[in-house]
Structure 1
Amino acid sequence: MEQKIIFGDVYRNKKVLVTGNTGFKGSWLCTWLISLGADVFGISNAIPTNPSMFQELGLADKMKHYFADVRDLGEMRKIIYEIEPDFVFHLAAQPIVSLSYSEPVDTIATNVMGTTNVLEVLRNYTKPCTAIIITSDKCYDNVEWIYGYKETDAVGGKDIYSGSKGAAELIFKCYYHSFFKKEGGTVQVASARAGNVIGGGDWALDRIIPDCMRSWSEGKVVEIRSPKATRPWQHVLEPLSGYLQLGERLYRDHTLNGESFNFGPKPEYNHTVQEILEDMSLRWHFENSKEAYQVTGDIKFYEAGLLKLNCDKALFHFQWKPTLNYHTLIEYTSDWYYEFYKNSGNMFSYTQGQIEGYENLASQAHLVWTK
């Protein structure tokens, strides 16, 4: 694929480390960074799902990967010092809400101490480095109000997963004020908050889109728990464009050091689970949506309901905003899985094609990061 001059071309020939690179978002981010001409490295403790986007795209042959646990401070220090990265995107986490109920200690250890270990290694790092710490929109103390949460709102949560993400943000804040705030420091840090992303290549458990695609690929009807539940849907490339643009801006503008940014969809992208499944079923050529899903009353665990992000800060500082409309979001997600299950195509090339299409749409919308 022809390399483009986007994100100020800051990633070309740079060493970029992605923790959690074998996961859904990590695999998409690594694929995009490869397209941008970066020298990409990854750290993760396992291949999290089967199938796995990391494996289906053959990313192990296209980047340098280390199997290691972010909870192991000594191993993290050894690997990061060996790589000597110019950029770090920390995505490694226990990302499944339902799993946090059965494995709360592991969730807290990974999400809190894993983040702490990355920051601790960078605290004594002597080379210039730009680090983006990614948490989640669930880091906010969700009081179910109708307003979008701003970066200055309280963090926390009633469930283990939300609490672990809120705690990770507190650790980030403490490390910034204690160590990274000093003028002339070599390491610049910022945190990014996004959530509820969908897109091809996600096979995580207890997520509606992966559950749906697994069932449809086997000719089965998918069971859904809460058809009227509303979520602010966004394609995975949307927050990734925010992370990459934040990395570029922090690299150039150190006044953003220590800041946190939300990356979420437009408010009108709130749709019910039932609406999104009906629209996706059309892309899979179902003639009747009743053949695609059925409702079950089995509510397995508590999960906070309404949650919206206010993204005015990212718009103000570097004019970031979402690219895809709702229909293109459905098209990108459904078609990726259809290509994988029905056509057995080259998924790395197909994924790069979707990234290029996304870049073109962003360019047509005159978004700043495409110039």
Structure 2
Amino acid sequence: MGKMGEKVIFGDIYRNKKVLVTGNTGFKGSWLCTWLIALGAEVYGISNEIPTQPSMFSELELGEKMNHFFADIRDLDSLTKIINQIEPHFVFHLAAQPIVSLSYQEPIDTITTNVMGTANILEVLRNYYKPCSAIIITSDKCYDNVEWIYGYKETDAVGGKDIYSGSKGAAELIFKSYYHSFFKKSDGLVQVASARAGNVIGGGDWALDRIIPDCMRSWSDKKVVEIRSPKATRPWQHVLEPLSGYLQLGEKLYKDHSLNGESFNFGPKPEYNHTVQEILEDMSTRWHFQDSKDAYKVTGDIKFYEAGLLKLNCDKALFHFQWKPTLDYKTLIEFTSDWYYEFYVEKNKMFSYTKSQIEKYENLATLANISWTK
């Protein structure tokens, strides 16, 4: 534990522990690895590629700061060898095909990665005879979205009208069946839980067909960004918000085996629902646009079906370990815009800048008396 007056994050549970992050080269994975390094963990990663150019993994030089394995999670033999070699205390499974538009072009690849990849992780852990807490991360898209105004609870039906949503719903069904078949009656060494989060934004995301990366690419080239659905609302949250939930869930699962087999939502406060147009206008001011008309223009080109309104009810995480989001909307905009501005305009070293944003986030959470800072 920390010295007198020193903040203790997640009970200092990750210090000197071996933590495996699958999908560590992705946007969320890179942020999670950076945070785990800052928490003193011995961090390992498995992914099949560096997904974008540029990529946060490369820009932060994470390959030099952690132990990385290139492997496909659909390859059970490789996965088994690597995990048994690492002997992790914690596993955070983020590896996935995360792009809705790509799921229309590559449905089989999306299904095999998101469903069989998850099954393979659980299969390795089924035969893993050491203490380990594993968080299986899917998506808020796992829910059968009937576009009602209420937040979805963990007990609501999973499903999906598009391939991406269906693959995430199927991953949750696989998680549930593996838990009841194997982990529920195991010797208690391996504990598993699943986590569901929605739209995340933040520095270092360069994925295709996502509004913030599209925006930053255009603005860095002094171009106007084209947007399809200016009135579409999303429950925006900074990437550190759900990651704080995953890390706190990992800590609680490690200490409290009654959470074994449970699923948890991690989403923003309902008042964080803003339109695409609002968020772009607010971000454009951080990029010193005098007039938002110079920042974006609306086109009518809707390329593919994507579910509309989808909110999460996060009462369960609040009840079990008092988790709640930290950042207000204004700070969410600042964190996201400023990271890209530092990268594209100031051209700073991004690992130290990213760590400084994590420290700022921890300090804000401490001031707000958020449970994982005590």
Equivalent positions of 1:209-228 (< 5 A) are: 209-228=212-231
Equivalent positions of 1:1-150 (< 5 A) are: 5-150=8-153
Question: Quick one: which amino acid aligns to residue 81 of structure 1?
Answer: N
Pick aligned residue for 1:152 from 146, 152, 155: 155
In the other structure, the counterpart of 2:302 is 299
Q: Does 1:184 align with 2:154?
A: no
Q: Does 1:284 align with 2:292?
A: no
Task: Give me the whole-angstrom Cα distance separating, in 1, the residues matched to 2:53 and 2:39.
Answer: 28
Deviations 1:276-314 (A, max 9, x none): 000000000000000000000000000000000000000
Deviations 1:144-186 (A, max 9, x none): 0000000000000000000000000000000000000015321
Equivalent positions of 1:135-284 (< 5 A) are: 135-182=138-185, 184-284=187-287
Q: Structure 2 length normalisation: TM-score?
A: 0.98
Task: Give me the whole-angstrom Cα distance separating, in 1, the residues matched to 2:253 and 2:284.
Answer: 41
In the other structure, the counterpart of 1:329 is 332
Task: Give me the whole-angstrom Cα distance separating, in 2, the residues matched to 1:291 and 1:78.
Answer: 53
- Structure 1 residue ranges (4+ consecutive) displaced by more than 6 angstroms after TM superposition: none
Secondary structure of 1:89 counterpart: strand
Deviations 1:196-249 (A, max 9, x none): 000000000000000000000000000000000000000000000000000000
In the other structure, the counterpart of 1:360 is 363
Structure 2: where are the runs of 5+ without partners? Answer: none
Question: Quick one: which amino acid aligns to residue 102 of structure 2?
Answer: L
Question: Quick one: which amino acid aligns to residue 101 of structure 2?
Answer: S
Task: Give me the whole-angstrom Cα distance separating, in 2, the residues matched to 1:293 and 1:302.
Answer: 22
CA distance 1:310–1:347, shift in 2 (3 Å): same
Pick aligned residue for 1:312 from 307, 310, 315: 315
Structure 1: where are the runs of 5+ without partners? Answer: none
CA contact (8 A) 1:4 1:36 kept: no
Task: Give me the whole-angstrom Cα distance separating, in 2, the residues matched to 1:358 and 1:336.
Answer: 13
Secondary structure of 1:171 counterpart: helix
Task: Give me the whole-angstrom Cα distance separating, in 2, the residues matched to 1:313 and 1:198.
Answer: 23
Secondary structure of 1:210 counterpart: helix
Query: In angstroms, what is the RMSD of aligned CA positions?
Result: 0.9
Task: Give me the whole-angstrom Cα distance separating, in 2, the residues matched to 1:314 and 1:52.
Answer: 31
Q: Give the drift of 1:328.
A: 0.1
Question: Quick one: which amino acid aligns to residue 66 of structure 2?
Answer: M
Task: Give me the whole-angstrom Cα distance separating, in 1, the residues matched to 2:45 and 2:161.
Answer: 32
Question: Quick one: which amino acid aligns to residue 89 of structure 1?
Answer: F
Secondary structure of 1:301 counterpart: coil
Q: Give the drift of 1:4.
A: 5.0
Secondary structure of 1:94 counterpart: coil
Question: Quick one: which amino acid aligns to residue 107 of structure 1?
Answer: T
Task: Give me the whole-angstrom Cα distance separating, in 1, the residues matched to 2:58 and 2:176.
Answer: 35
Pick aligned residue for 2:342 from 313, 331, 339: 339
CA contact (8 A) 1:19 1:90 kept: yes
Question: Quick one: which amino acid aligns to residue 92 of structure 2?
Answer: F
Task: Give me the whole-angstrom Cα distance separating, in 1, the residues matched to 2:211 and 2:185.
Answer: 44
Q: Give the drift of 1:31.
A: 0.1
Q: Give the drift of 1:195.
A: 1.4
Task: Give me the whole-angstrom Cα distance separating, in 1, the residues matched to 2:59 and 2:103.
Answer: 27
Identity %: 84
Task: Give me the whole-angstrom Cα distance separating, in 2, the residues matched to 1:187 and 1:77.
Answer: 15
Task: Give me the whole-angstrom Cα distance separating, in 2, the residues matched to 1:75 and 1:344.
Answer: 38
Secondary structure of 1:258 counterpart: coil
Task: Give me the whole-angstrom Cα distance separating, in 2, the residues matched to 1:56 and 1:283.
Answer: 22
Q: Give the drift of 1:368.
A: 1.1
Secondary structure of 1:75 counterpart: helix
Deviations 1:78-100 (A, max 9, x none): 00000000000000000000000
